Chains A and B, each alone.
Chain A
Amino acid sequence: MKRNFPPTLHLILTLVWLCVAGTMIFLYAPQELTMGEVQRIFYIHVASAWTALLAYFLIFLGSVGYLWRRSSFADDFAHAAGEIGFVFCTCVLVTGPLWAKPVWGIWWTWDARLTLTFVLWLLFVAYLMLRSYVINPGRAAVLAAVVGIIGFVDVPIDYMAIRWWRTQHPQPVIAGGEGSGLDPRMWVTLLVTWGAFLCLFSYLLRQHLRLEALRREISRLGRSLASSRRA
């Protein structure tokens, strides 16, 4: 990946894609009839939510990989996905209330979808806190992997919450059955925005993986220096 796709090019692609998504959101996507302009929050809110769910799925995969193979790459991958997923999940929890207030008249309500998304955010926090506060790196990786695997239970329930229960949160417009659906231009805009977010996610992921590689290299060099001093 490093050889074929330089990080600078990746960053430029991400910025261009984000600009295209922004242009489509404001100039191409039609205005929603009842909510008006504020409905345009939908594109970043939904795209952030999908990316946060995907990030937790990647934590799950990395955690399984680490416990199964003790692969340091899988551990780094899960850690990176956790930190970036936390940022995306924070975006969901901020853009949601900013959309809810003018439309519902309230910032927040403890319905199933909102509560489970908040739980997902807490899981990201717990995962990152474990990684920061447990001193032994091997132990931190094992504990974080266990949280990553157990916490994944929240992801499908969160996704299905609006299908299983009556919620204040709107019913699904995507794969929501009869009566649901989006204007084709809204669909395209949503997919382009999600694509831009995935590009941003992958850029941040590879930057974070580079950080982890540097950390491991420093720790390896530090150990070899210390042992050669003792000898």
Chain B
Amino acid sequence: MGNSFLVLAYWFLWIIFMVYAAAIHRRQVRLEKELEALKNAGRGQDASGSGSS
């Protein structure tokens, strides 16, 4: 009986850290995309600004 608690504890630890690391990675990818989109918007704005002047 004790062994199943041991296995459960170690499984829980692995799963929680895998899920957390994956969550951080997912957030990073989303923010990087957002940053790239903002940079592109800035470049577009600069180009249209210089084109109109």
Contacts and interface: CB of A to CB of B under 8 A. Distances in A.
B6 A210 contact: no
B2 A38 contact: yes
Nearest to B46: A228
Interface in B1-31: 1-3, 5-6, 8-10, 12-13, 16-17, 20-21, 24-25, 27-28, 31
Contacts, number: 82
Given A41-B5, A95-B9, A215-B31, A225 B21 contact: no
Nearest to A44: B13
B42 A99 contact: no
A184 B18 CA distance: 31
A98 B3 CA distance: 10
Nearest to B8: A98
Contacts of B39: 221
A221 B35 contact: yes
B28 A207 contact: yes
Contacts of B24: 204, 207-208, 211
A204 B17 CA distance: 10
A215 B6 CA distance: 39
Interface string A206-228: 01101100110110011011001
Interface residues of A, number: 36
A91 B10 CA distance: 10
Nearest to B31: A214
A94 interface: yes
Contact of A91 (B2, B6, B13, B35): B13
A41 B31 contact: no
A65 B27 CA distance: 26
Interface of B: 1-3, 5-6, 8-10, 12-13, 16-17, 20-21, 24-25, 27-28, 31-32, 34-35, 38-39, 41-42, 45, 49
* Cβ-closest 8 pairs across A and B: A38-B2, A214-B31, A102-B2, A98-B9, A221-B38, A95-B9, A98-B5, A41-B9
6 contacts: A22-B10, A91-B16, A98-B12, A211-B27, A214-B28, A224-B42
